[in-house]
Amino acid sequence: MIEKVENSLPTGTALLQDPLLNKGTAFSAEERETLGLKGLLPPKIFTMEEQVARVLENYRQKKTDLERYIHLASLQDRNETLFYRVLMDNLDEMMPIVYTPVVGQACQQFGHIFRRPRGLYISYKERGNIAEILKNWPRKDVRVIVVTDGERILGLGDQGAGGMGIPVGKLSLYTACAGISPAQCLPVMLDVGTENEGYLGDPLYLGIRQHRVRGQEFDDFVAEFMNAAKEIWPDVLIQFEDFANSNAFRLLENWRDKICSFNDDMQGTAAVSLAGLFSALRVTKKSLGEQKILFLGAGEAGIGIADLIVSAMVDEGDTLEEARAKCWFVDSKGLVVKSRDNLVEHKLRFAHDYPFEPDFLSAVKSLKPTAIIGVSTIPKTFNQEVIQTMAELNERPIIFALSNPTSKSECSAEEAYTWSDGRAIFASGSPFPPCVFKGQTYVPGQGNNAYVFPGIGLGAVACKAKTVTDRMFSQAARALADQVLESDLEMGRMYPALSRIREVSAYIGAAVAEVAFNDGVAGIEKPANVLEFVRSQQWAPEYRNYVK
Tell me which residues are annotated as active site.
99, 170
Type and span of the H or E element at 485: none
Residue 447 three-state SS: coil
- How far apart, in whole angstroms, are the C-alpha atoms of residue 387 and residue 520? 46
Neighbours of 385 (CB within 10 A): 12
Tell me how far apart the terminal alpha carbons of the chain are, to the nearest angstrom. 18
Measured CA to CA, the distance from residue 37 to residue 12 in angstroms comes to 5
Angle formed at CA 285 by CA 282 and CA 287, multiple of 5 degrees:
90
Q: Give the 3-state secondary structure of residue 518.
A: helix
* C-alpha distances in Å from residue 430, one per residue of 380, 405, 417: 14, 6, 16
CA–CA distance, 319 with 408 (Å, rounded to integer): 35
What angle, rounded to 10 degrees, do the helices at 501-518 and 470-482 form?
Answer: 140
Strands 185-191 and 144-148, sheet pairing: parallel
DSSP code at position 491: T
Residue/partner pairs of 61-70 with CB below 8 Å, 24 or more apart = 65/96, 65/97, 65/102, 65/105, 66/102, 66/105, 66/106, 66/109, 66/113, 68/94, 68/97, 68/102, 69/97, 69/98, 69/102, 69/103, 69/105, 69/106, 69/113, 70/113, 70/115
Sheet holding 445-446, edge to edge: 334-335, 327-331, 293-296, 371-374, 398-401, 425-428, 445-446
One-character DSSP codes across 110-155: HHHH--S--SEEEEGGGTT-HHHHHTT-S-S---EEEEE-SSSBTT
CA 4 to chain centre: 28
Name the residue type at position 70. I
Sheet holding 185-191, edge to edge: 120-123, 185-191, 144-148, 237-240, 261-263
Name every residue whose Cβ is closer than 8 Å to that of residue 20 and which is 6 or more positions away in sequence: 3, 80, 81, 182, 183
Q: Which residues contact 45 (CB under 8 A, 6 or more apart)?
A: 25, 26, 27, 28, 29
Could you tell me which of 245, 362, 340, 242 has the C-alpha nearest to residue 298?
245
Task: Give CA separation, 383 vs 83, 375, 409, 425, 447, in Å.
Answer: 40, 15, 11, 16, 20
Sequence-separated (6 or more) residues with CB below 8 Å from residue 117: none
- What value, to the nearest 5°, has the Cα angle with vertex 284 and ends 280 and 286? 100
